[in-house]
Chains A and B, each alone.
Chain A
Amino acid sequence: GDSVTQMEGPVTLSEEAFLTINCTYTATGYPSLFWYVQYPGEGLQLLLKATKADDKGSNKGFEATYRKETTSFHLEKGSVQVSDSAVYFCALSDGWGGGFKTIFGAGTRLFVKA
């Protein structure tokens, strides 16, 4: 079945450091890929998405490229800020029955120190 694997956390970085959070997936179809972010005490919100191979999603300085050949969707940011401290979830949506379902990774907690 479909699955999403992302790097375990927590990840601790200093402000202005470069961030990479790895995400790989397995899917039976041709999924859409997402990164969601969860700030403390809140629900998840969409950070970025990509719907076909070689698409790059970007938002708030974060970016990720849909790599079909390596089944990956790694999240990157060139210079993190303290306010980026949150839990990041990689997810895919794939066909299921007559509709679709979304599968989430386990989440990676990011701490950014001033």
Chain B
Amino acid sequence: DVKVTQSSRYLVKRTGEKVFLECVQDMDHENMFWYRQDPGLGLRLIYFSYDVKMKEKGDIPEGYSVSREKKERFSLILESASTNQTSMYLCASSFPRMNTEAFFGQGTRLTVV
């Protein structure tokens, strides 16, 4: 059974903290993605990676960075958390073909107080 696993389901962090969200996939996918999901806005792409140590900015990269040191792991970093980063964060992975589906983790609900 294919799996994308996010390290936490729920997180509460303080403003200004550095926050790490981890994602691991076991499908040997080249592509990995981080989205945030907000009501009425759907999923917005933060960053994606198409290979180890490679990354590309998505539509809303400001305030975030990513790391991909191993093929199976893709980390999202909030350098200095702010309240407007309170959201649901979804990790996904896929093969590098346009007509294939993405597989999603269960999401991390992050609250910044």
Q: Which residue, of A36, A41, A94, A99, has the highest number of chain B Cβ atoms within 10 A?
A: A99
Nearest to A109 among chain B residues (CB) is B39
Q: Are A43 and B41 in contact (CB under 8 A)?
A: no
Give chain B residues whose Cβ lies under 8 Å from the Cβ of A94. Answer: 98
Q: Which residues of chain A in 66-114 are interfacial with respect to chain B, using CB atoms and an 8 Å cutoff?
A: 89, 93-95, 97, 99-107
B48 contacts chain A at the CB level, 8 A cutoff: yes
Those of B58-113 within 8 Å (CB) of chain A: 58, 90, 92, 96, 98-99, 101-107
B99 near A42 (CB under 8 angstroms)? no
Measured CB to CB, the closest approach of chain A to B107, in angstroms, equals 5
A97 to B98, CA, bound (A): 12
- Complex CA distance for A36 and B44, rounded to whole angstroms: 15
| Given A43-B104, A99-B50, A93:B43 Cβ within 8 A | no
Q: In the docked arrangement, what's the CA distance between A41 and B9, Å?
A: 9
What residues of chain B have their CB less than 8 Å away from a CB belonging to chain A?
4, 31, 33, 35, 40-45, 48, 50, 56, 58, 90, 92, 96, 98-99, 101-107
A interface with B by C-beta (< 8 Å)? 4, 31-32, 34, 36, 41-46, 49, 51, 89, 93-95, 97, 99-107
Which 8 residue pairs are nearest across A and B when measured between Cβ atoms? A43-B104, A106-B42, A104-B43, A46-B101, A100-B98, A51-B99, A32-B99, A44-B104
